[in-house]
Amino acid sequence: MATLIRSLSSLSRSSSKSSCLAARLGGARSLATESKSIRRTGLYDFHIENGAKMVPFAGYSMPLTYGDVGQVASHHHVRNEAGLFDVGHMVQTTFRGPTATAFLEHLTPSSLSSLPAYTSTLSVLVNPQGGIIDDTVITKHSSNAFYVVTNAGRRDEDLPWFTTQLEKWNSPEGPGGKEGPVEMEVMEDWGLIAIQGPQAASYLQSLTSYDLRELTFGKSAYVPIEGFNLHVARGGYTGEDGFEISIPPSHTVEVAKLLHKSPVQLAGLAARDSLRLEAGMCLYGNDLDESTSPVEAGLSWVIGKDRKETGGFIGADEVLRQLKEGPTRRRVGFIVEGAPARQGAKIFAPSSPEPIGTITSGIPSPTLSKNIAMGYVQSGHHKKGTQVEVEVRGKRQPAVVTPMPFIKPRYWRG
Residues tagged in the binding site annotation for substrate? 244
Note whether 134 and 157 are within 8 A (CB). Answer: yes
Bind-site residues: 244
Burial tier of 164 (Cβ tally within 10 Å: 0-12, 13-18, 19+)? exposed
Considering Cα of 267, then 12, then 60, then 367, what sign does the dihedral take? Answer: negative
Burial tier of 379 (Cβ tally within 10 Å: 0-12, 13-18, 19+)? middle
